[in-house]
Chain A
Amino acid sequence: MTSATAPARGRAPARDVAGLGVGRALGFVAPAMLLIGAFLIFPALWTIYIGITNYRLTGVEAVSPSMVGLSNYTKALNDALFHNALWLTLLFVLGSAIIGQNILGFTLAWVLRRARPVVRRTVEAFTLLAWILPSTVVAYLWVAFYDRDGGTLNGILGTPGTAWLIDYPMACLVVFNTWRGTAFSMMLYSSALQAVPPSQLESARMVGASGWQTLRDIVFPHIRGHVLTNTLLISLWTANDFSPFLLTKGGPNHESETVPVYIYNVALQGGELGYSSAISFLLLIANLLVSLVYLRLLRRRS
């Protein structure tokens, strides 16, 4: 009876973890890959391609665009409006994400940690509501809030007739986006704070450490990785956020035109699809660079 111990004939057993075999595994993955290819990879490559053409929304170049090499990129480097957009994006990310959402989110998480469950759930629910509402709804609410005639803010401050969105557009956007995105930081920090052993906080209390000393010496070293991850995510989201357009359309006079808004204005108001694609690609490169820096920082920690 040698056949009992002989290896089975036919195909060798699959060596992958699920035991599917390469062919069937690929079959399962294919639909997802097709969707990603059609709606993510192709448009990205298409953007890079039209970035080196003079493709326009209307006119001769809309029908037969021609290759212009890197001239769109050299144009961007000398475009004062693009520089302005970069600067405003930096302000927007710094003010509303790195400072606003980060600090407000952490403060809420830190304070709510000891609050009564009823209070905590209520505050969390309202904060989350700001995050999950559709941008259009939120934008409408904030336009009403900032409005010159009968706006809520003017009502509260007793400053009728102040046109907040025109006089202080960037400040308005920073406040708006801080309000809008704080929920994510709050949730992330809430769960990060649970990882700090209570006995370590109590040890700090026993030796008389102040609130600030406890945060600096005990809490922060524990959640450093979370802070970096959170800052990376909210920075990228904020840099690519299009909702400023819904409040100010980039105006007045480009004063609140962040890069995504500028891309939109160049493409659809100016009709310069080729140029706007080149700027989109530059924004992508900037995102990649920021991610690399954060990843480097994360790795240095471990």
Chain B
Amino acid sequence: MAGIDIEGLATVYPNGVRAVDGLDLHVADGEFFALLGPSGCGKTTLLRTIAGLEPASEGTVRIDAADVTRTEPGKRGVAMVFQDYALFPHMSVSENITYPLKVRRVAAATRADVASRTAGELSLDGLLERKPGQLSGGQQQRVALARAIASEGKVLLLDEPLSNLDARLRLEARTFLKKLQRDLGITTVFVTHDQAEALALADRIAVMDSGKLRQLGSPREVFARPANTFVANFIGSTPMNLLPGKVTADGAVTVAGGSLPASTSSTPADAEVTVGIRPEYLTLSTGDVTGPALRGEVVVAENLGTQSLVSVDCAGTLIGVTVPEETEPTPGTPVVLTAPASRVLLYTQDTGELLTFADSTARARS
């Protein structure tokens, strides 16, 4: 019921920077939605504009179909967890959790009930009388979540929810957060600069750059079919290979001294394109193969745990390819790289927009 509708939204700072620049977005009820992008892309400003902490310069924000563009933050039915959790150091955990209720002058007995119930949901039992300073980072985060939940907002906003935790705790908190969101079923928007976090948590991801939306889609879509080279570069723990290539007449592209299959139906022959292929989707073999392939020589292999990233020199261009552990070829080995046509993405060289899947490009723009 409590979806978020954003139309033509712009947030302009007094110095003229358009941090959010004419954005349209719909977040469905109960959805776990990620705003992803490099620092300075406007994702946090967008979140703060939804919260009402930054005034919108143009456009509208609707929550649960009600226009809240000019509504005070406290009256929007929105709860927010800040990056530093913003717990009040002089209040106990229990007072922190129930502060939203205290503001609304809810009776003390009711507040105590809510505190113990919410603390139970977030595994904070036994900590209610402590001060935030006596809690671990993970516990502090859960107190901040508990406070947001206790305020009974229709929408939950999380600013970089995992960035203040150390690496191990972060994975634990990620699982916890996803389960919590599923259990509560509350519409949640979170901001992150970590693509792995966005892929792991979100139902849908909005990739942003310079205040604009660059792609909107499920984690699978965004990962497998980046709508443009910006998204292609940004998503994925190993960078996507982006190489200059040329479309040939027989449904392939010549690239790096060899060729790869591609669906070239929407592209004229001889067109100059940027060929994008993820290292995970390339197959490395040492024998001979038939059909379009790239031939080169192994330069280095980097161990990534269960797999290795092998850099292959193909006619002077380095191409990354992942192989399962313990199958890394030694440097100097001549190898052949192949890929299925469905994984080879073609982008225009000038704008960097995806050519192969024209429909998904159009969707990202809408």
Q: Tell whether A and B belong to one assembly.
A: yes
Question: What residues make up the interface of A, taking CB atoms closer than 8 Å to B?
Answer: 197, 199-200, 202-210, 213, 217-218, 221-222
| A202-B53 CB under 8 A given contacts A197-B84, A197-B86 | yes
Q: A202–B103 contact, CB under 8 A?
A: no
Q: A202-B53, A213-B103, A217-B99 are in contact. Are A207 and B86 (CB under 8 A)?
A: no
Given the complex of chains A and B, what is the CA–CA distance between A197 and B73 in angstroms? 18
Q: How far is the CB of A274 from chain B (nearest CB, A)?
A: 52
Question: Which residue on A lies nearest to B85, using beta carbons?
Answer: A199
Interface of A is mostly: helix
Of all chain B residues, the one with the shortest Cβ separation from A203 is B86
Q: Report which of A200, A202, A207, A222 forms a contact with B151, defined as CB distance below 8 A.
A: A207
Say which residue of B74, B89, B90 sits within 8 Å of A207 (CB atoms): B74
Is B82 within 8 A of A202, CB to CB? yes
Contact A205-B86, Cβ < 8 Å, known A213-B103, A217-B99: no
Known contacts: A200-B88, A213-B103. The answer to whether A206 contacts B74 by CB under 8 A is yes
Closest 7 CB pairs of A and B: A208-B74, A199-B86, A207-B100, A221-B90, A199-B82, A203-B86, A209-B103
Chain B residues with CB under 8 A of A202: 53, 73, 80, 82, 86
B151 surroundings in chain A (CB, below 8 A): 206-207
Contact (A218, B88) CB under 8 Å given A205-B74, A207-B74, A207-B103: yes
Q: How far is the CA of A200 from the CA of B132 in the complex (A)?
A: 13
Chain A residues positioned under 8 Å from B86 (CB to CB): 197, 199-200, 202-203
Q: Interface size (B, Cβ < 8 Å)? A: 25
Q: Which of A203, A206, A207, A221 is the most central at the interface, judged by chain B CB atoms within 10 Å of its CB?
A: A206
Residues of B within 8 A of A213 (CB): 103
A206:B51 contact, CB within 8 angstroms: yes
Q: Name the B residues within 8 Å of A203 (CB-CB).
A: 80, 82, 86, 88, 147
| Partner among B73, B84, B89, B102 whose Cβ is within 8 Å of the Cβ of A206 | B73
Which residues of chain B are within 8 angstroms of A218 by Cβ–Cβ distance? Answer: 88
Q: Chain B residues with Cβ under 8 A from A197's Cβ?
A: 84, 86
Asked if A217 and B88 sit within 8 Å, CB to CB, the answer is: yes
Residues B73 and A199 in contact, CB atoms below 8 Å apart: no
User: Using Cβ atoms and an 8 Å threshold, which residues of chain B touch A204?
Assistant: 99, 103
Task: Please give the distance in Å from B132's CB to the nearest CB on chain A.
Answer: 11
* Cα-based distance from A158 to B79 in the complex (angstroms): 55
Having A202-B80, A217-B91, A221-B90, one finds 7 other A-B pairs with CB under 8 Å, namely A199-B85, A205-B72, A206-B80, A207-B99, A208-B74, A208-B103, A209-B103
CB interface residues, B 81-129, toward A, < 8 Å: 82-86, 88-91, 99-100, 102-104
For residue B75, CB closer than 8 A to chain A, the reply is yes
Task: With a 10 A CB-CB cut-off, give which of A199, A213, A217, A218 has the most chain B CB atoms.
Answer: A199
Q: Mark B50-71, 1 if CB is under 8 A from A, else 0.
A: 0101000000000000000000
Q: 29 pairs across A/B with beta carbons < 8 Å?
A: A197-B86, A199-B84, A200-B86, A202-B53, A202-B82, A202-B86, A203-B86, A203-B88, A203-B147, A204-B103, A205-B73, A206-B51, A206-B74, A206-B80, A206-B151, A207-B79, A207-B99, A207-B103, A207-B151, A208-B72, A208-B73, A208-B103, A208-B104, A209-B74, A210-B103, A217-B102, A221-B88, A221-B90, A222-B90
- Write out the residue numbers on chain A whose beta carbons fall within 8 Å of the beta carbon of B78: 206
Q: Complex Cα distance A181/B104, Å? A: 38
- Docked Cα-Cα span, A107 to B90, in Å, equals 23
CA distance A38 to B83 in the complex (A): 57
Evaluate whether A199 and B99 lie within 8 angstroms (CB atoms) in the complex, with A206-B51, A207-B151, A208-B74 already known: no
A206 to B85, CA, bound (A): 13
Q: How far is the CB of A10 from chain B (nearest CB, A)?
A: 51
**Within the assembled complex, what's the spacing in Å between the Cα atoms of A203 and B83?**
11
Residues of A contacting B104 in the complex (Cβ-Cβ under 8 angstroms): 208
CA distance A204 to B96 in the complex (A): 11
B79 contacts across to A, CB distance below 8 A = 206-207
Closest B residue to A209 using CB positions: B103
Which residue of chain B has its CB nearest to the CB of A221? B90
